[in-house]
Amino acid sequence: MRLYLLVLLSLPMLLACSSVSHSPAAELNTSADVRELTVLYSNDEHGWMEGREPGRGAADILGLWREKEGYSEDGPFLLLSGGDHWTGPAISTWFEGEGMVEVMNTMGYDASAIGNHEFDFGLDNLEQRVRQANFPYLAANIQWKASETLPSELGILAFTMIEINDLSVGIIGLSTTSTPSTTNPINVVDLAFMEYEPVLRSTVTQLAVADPDLIFVVAHVCMAALRPLAVAVADLNISLMGGGHCNELVAEKMGETILLESNGHFRSYARAHFEYDLRRDSLINSSFSTEKNEAGSSDESVAQLVAKWRAATEAELSAVLGFSSREYQANDDRLQRAVVESWLQIDSTADMAINNRYALRAPFPRGEVTLADVVGLLPFENTIYAVELSGANVLQVLAEGQNPFVTGLIRIENDWLLAKTGRLIDTNETYRVLINSFMYEGGAGYNAIANFDSVGFDTEIHYRQPLVNWLLEQESSASQPLALP
C-alpha cells in the first residue's frame, strides 16, 4: 500500500521534473493540490552587471532564466540573493551601487540578505539603496548597539512573507558576523552583528504567527558556518538556506535543508525546485542544482540599462577631481605615498599599506586632474586586500619583490618603526597590512604573502577608489592647486 502510494505520488513529480518549463502549464501534470515553486539564487554580484566576461552579465543570466527555467515575473519563481551587490567595478562603485539596484529591480529580485559590502559607502548610502530597491533587504541579526533593536530606520527587515502560487513563504535574512572587519569598521561602529542560531530561532518563532508553508533563509554567510547552522537548527523546518560571502558554488542538502550558493559576479546561479501539497500541508518533493551563466540570450531591458550605466561611467571619467601645482612622474615617491596613504583611509584598523614599486603607470598631470588621469595612473582591475602578517613576515615582504612602497612604517637605517606606535616592528606581533590583489596573487615576486595569510580578505574596493576619494576631499582649485607632500 505504502509502495503504491509512493508510485502514485512520484509519477506526477517525475513528469514535472522532466518538463523543461516550470510555467503554470507544467502544473497540469501534478495534482490540483500540489504547488510548484522555483528559487533562482545568486550572491556576491559585486557590481558585475556587465559580467566578468562578455555574455555572462546580468542581462544574459536573466535571458537564461527565461529560456532555461521558464522564468517570468508573475510565474511561480522567487529570485533571491545572498548580498554584496554593489562594490566592484566603476560602473557600480562609482555610482555607489545605484545602477546595480536598478538592474536587480528590473530583473525582478524578490529579497536579499545584507552583505558586509552593503556598508562600504556608509549607512546613508545603504538606506538610499534599500529604499530604491523594489525588494526587501533582510538581516535579522543586526542591531543598534545602543538600543539592541533592528535598524529598521535604514529600511532593513528581519524577514518578509511572500505569497506566491498559493504558497506563503517566510524568508529570513542573516548578515555575516565578520562585517565589522570586512567593511570599513567606521561604517558599522554603532551596529552589532549577533550570533546566527539564537536570532534564527527567535525569528522563526515570530514567523510562526503568519503560519508559512515554507521557511527560507538568505544569509551572507560562508558554507563553513552555514552547514553547521543548518544541522543545529534542523528542528526549525527550514527548507532552504542560501549563502554568500565566500563565493562558493554549492547546491546540496543537509538533512531536510537545501543549501545554495552561486560563485558570485553572475558567473553562475544556484536553483532549487519545490513541490508542496496544500491538502497535506507538506513539502513532497524538492531538487537543486547549480548552473553556469552561459549561452543565454541577453534580456533587452536589462541590456539597455547596463548600456545606460556604461555610458554614464564613460561620461564621468572626464570629471575633474582636482588641480595639481606640478607634474609628478609615475615613479615619484610623493605620488606613491599619496596612493598608499589613501588606502589606509578605507580601514582604520590597518597598520600599514604596501604597494608594488611599479604599480603606477602614468604621470600625474599639472593643472586639471581628471578621473581618466587616475585611471591611467592605476589602470588595472585590482582590489585592495587586507592580510594579517607577523612582523617577521612583513620584514620578509619588504625585502622581497622589487623594493615595494610602504606607508605606516618609518625606516631608520636598517630598522623599521611602526608609525602608529613609534616602536620597532615586533617580529612576533601580528599586523594588519593592506596590499593590492595583484601582489596577493603573487604578482611581482610576492608569492610569500598568500602563504603567510591564506585567507587574505578581498575588500572588493578598487585600488584606485581611495585616491579618487582623497583627491575630491582636498577640494583643490586652479587658484589653490594641490602640492603632494
Residues 263-292 that bind Zn ion (CB under 5 A): none
Residues 59-88 that bind Zn ion (CB under 5 A): 84
Look up residue 393 and give its amino acid: N
Nearer to Zn ion, 85 or 245 (CB): 245
Nearer to Zn ion, 88 or 115 (CB): 115
- Strand 268-277 and strand 282-292: the pairing is antiparallel
Residue 122 Cβ vs Zn ion, minimum distance, rounded to whole Å? 17
Question: Which grid coordinates are listed for 332?
Answer: 615619484
Nearer to Zn ion, 160 or 177 (CB): 177
Nearer to Zn ion, 71 or 266 (CB): 266
Residue 153 Cβ vs Zn ion, minimum distance, rounded to whole Å? 23
Residue 182 Cβ vs Zn ion, minimum distance, rounded to whole Å? 6
Question: Which grid coordinates are listed for 438?
Answer: 595583484
Per CB under 5 A, the list member of 22, 46, 85, 245 interacting with Zn ion is: 245
Q: What's the CA gap between 129 and 47, in Å, rounded?
A: 13
Residues 6-65 that bind Zn ion (CB under 5 A): none
Residues 82-141 that bind Zn ion (CB under 5 A): 84, 115-116
Nearer to Zn ion, 245 or 271 (CB): 245
Nearer to Zn ion, 160 or 183 (CB): 183
Question: Which grid coordinates are listed for 464?
Answer: 584606485
Residue nearest to Zn ion (CB): 245
Task: Mark residues 188-227: x for contact with Zn ion by CB under 5 A, - for none.
Answer: ----------------------------------------
What b/e string do you get for 24-39 counting C-beta neighbours within 10 Å, with b at 16 or more?
Answer: eebbebbeeebbbbbb
Residue 221 Cβ vs Zn ion, minimum distance, rounded to whole Å? 9
Residue 193 Cβ vs Zn ion, minimum distance, rounded to whole Å? 12
Nearer to Zn ion, 126 or 482 (CB): 126
Phi, psi of 471 (to 5 degrees): -60, -45
Q: What's the CA gap between 123 and 368, in Å, rounded?
A: 32
CB neighbours of residue 349 within 10 Å = 11
Residue 45 Cβ vs Zn ion, minimum distance, rounded to whole Å? 11
User: Which residue's entry shows cell 537545501?
Assistant: 258
Nearer to Zn ion, 364 or 457 (CB): 457
Residue 270 Cβ vs Zn ion, minimum distance, rounded to whole Å? 16
- Alpha-carbon distances of 59 from 110, 284, 469, rounded to whole Å: 17, 33, 30
Instruction: Using CB under 5 A, count the residues that bind Zn ion.
Output: 4
Task: Mark residues 321-350: x for contact with Zn ion by CB under 5 A, - for none.
Answer: ------------------------------
The distance of Cα 386 from the centroid of its chain, to the nearest Å, equals 16
CB neighbours of residue 414 within 10 Å = 5
Judged by CB under 5 A, which stretch of 237-245, 288-296, 341-349, 387-395 contacts Zn ion? 237-245
Residues 331, 440, 87, 349, CA torsion sign: negative
User: Which residue's entry shows cell 533571491?
Assistant: 80
Burial (0-12, 13-18, 19+ Cβ within 10 Å), 183: buried
Phi, psi of 229 (to 5 degrees): -65, -45
Phi, psi of 94 (to 5 degrees): -60, -30
Nearer to Zn ion, 245 or 267 (CB): 245
Residue 64 Cβ vs Zn ion, minimum distance, rounded to whole Å? 24
Of 247, 112, 264, 262, the C-alpha closest to 175 is: 112
Q: Using CB under 5 A as the criterion, which residues of the chain lie in contact with Zn ion when the complex forms? A: 84, 115-116, 245
